[in-house]
Structure 1
Amino acid sequence: MLADDSVLERQRRDLETIEREVETVRRDLATQRAARAELARELQQAERDVASLARAGHQLAIEIADQESVIERLRRALADEQQALAREQRALADLLRAVYAAGPADRLKLILNQEDGHRLTRLLSYYDYINRQRRERILGTQARATRLVELAAAADEEVDRLRRLAEHQGRSQQKLEEAQTRRRALLAELEQTIAGRGERVAQLEADAETLRRLITSLEQREQIDAEADVQLVPIAQRRGQLGWPVPGRLVTRFGAPKDGGPMTWDGIVLAVPEGVPVRAVHPGRVVYADWLRGLGLLLIIDHDDGFLTLYGHNQALLKEAGEWVVAGETIALSGTTGGRDAVGLYFALRHQGRPVNPEQWLAARAH
């Protein structure tokens, strides 16, 4: 069989998987865009609330300023009335002292003494005038006292109204801040949701494009040269006897969860220092030696009978597509390409395009 056939089958399956995932993410993105429309409506309402509260706060500030002016006017009027009351009290005291000094019997004495008529008339008029002034000043003092009480009550009422307005302004300000906080949260959620989904779609489409180019390259590759027709021991007969590609420690097992998500590892990862020789586990033909998204510098060997071995995250590839290798031959140097944080070799085994557990095919050794 052609070496490229198994690779093509595997890559086509991978491409179909990615294309299905792209479609799923696109559907999710459509759902998120619908959610974005809803968030936009909520955002619009939040902004309207902010504007309404801002207008109310502005109007409230004007009313508070007006009430402060009223309070100031009342305070000035109150001071004026207090001064007038003091003057009336002093005048009343002076009048009372004058009447008291004249004595209660003076008027009667004037009448009985039969003194000069003109003088008597003037004196009687004087007493009448004093009595009228006394009554008027007493009534005036009482009226000013009543007015003073009314003004004081009005001042207290305005002060209480000002306090209620201030409390209302505080509550309105709190609502304004809450509305602004909701606006920021809605905006951040909106931007993060759309950006995240868009980035995921772009990444998947880039992965799919990489696989398409690889498939095209493999489809154009010529049949394996007849001159390299080496008689190989079938790899199926060496199950449990294959040599390890590197002497590193096993850090990721076949089938383990990948990045905490639903996907699982279709190979194993061996931790090794950078630059360690990577060796072929069985003779075969190199059918792929290039960079691949997610696996970095990747080398694939076809061992016939539908078996492929994959070596990823290499620092450098020492073989090219089309070259034959023997078991134990150095084919690459370990590294961190393809986005790995730690140095390690990705090693996988495929049969008829399906992942199989490579640990079951490697010779037993201490881990």
Structure 2
Amino acid sequence: MAPRRKTLRGLVAWPAVFALAALSLLPAHAPSQQDVSEFEKRLARINEEIRVLRTRVEEVSKRESELLSQLEHIVLSKKLVRNEIAALNLQLEKLNGDLAATRETIAGLRDRLRGEQRSIEKTLVTLYKYGRFDFLHFLLQAENMSTVFSESRHLTLLARHQQDVIASYLKTMADLRSAEADQEKKKAEVAGLIAESGRKRQELEAQEVENRALVQQIRKNREKYQQALEEQKERARQLQILMDRLASQEVVLPFRFVPFYEKKGKLPWPISGKVITRFGIEPYLNTRTMNNGIEIAPPKDNTVVSAIHPGKVVYADYFQGYGNLLIIDHGMNYYSLYGHCDEFMVRKGDFVREEQPIAVAGDLGSLKGVSLYLEIRYKARPLDPLQWLKRR
């Protein structure tokens, strides 16, 4: 009998490796359709920003003879890299989620296998007991022919079901291993792209050092400063053309509000920080510069820009010389302009309330680092913002 018991142990052990899978096919804990849709929307939004930035970088690179264009090229390129890294991080986040779901599925399979192992062993013991592997022995043990036919049919079904379960398990495990290997490969690819973007950003940070040196050169060299002023004057002229066009398309706001002119000296500040450029004529290096607005340098931990009065966003786009520019129509021919924005939090056509966050301050189009450029206009004519904002 000893050899026979040894055979039984072998029979029990072999299916335990494969058939544990039998009933272990747990559904994968995959991300919900809503999660996937949200990921796709976020990725599409970032990719669209990347597309727009690449177009702008190409446009600016064509004007590299202009000092201000050289500065804008560097700042735009840095923002482009940040968006590329954001897109890669988003893809990596999804891949990590997929990998976690795969690991959870495999863990569930193994738990289910351990639970089914005892059942399978019992089945094998039963098969052995009734001589499934020795039909003649089974016939001799059977009490009557009815038992023979009944048990034979049941055991055949068990064996057939066991084979189907094993085949399904092996296929599922192969699929899971393949999927996990594929995701690990993608994860490695994305990590490589992130590393590449990191190196690219380091290069751009080195260029930013050159950028700051160029800014200093412009501000200290009268000839270069004069060239930059002439370039900025042309851009101010283009902005005036835009404002004239907007003023001819007066917006009627669909809600009640306090008229802008009644808020003179009472308007909230769009951002905290120090005023680094004032309205009006500014003498510098024996030159005279006319500023149509003010520049505010915010603290590093608070760069969110807020609307100074209710109105409608009539412009939200890149504007050469001013970076990303927002223009809000406050009704009755009053406007506020917000330049050097790093990103917008509203879109053209949106209605905004007073002190609603509308943008984040940046350094695009600025000679003075991260700042907000603010203008207030009446019928396209610039007004001194400091006379309209609350005293502080």
Choose 1 or 2 for highest CA Rg.
1
TM-score by length of 2: 0.37
TM-score by length of 1: 0.39
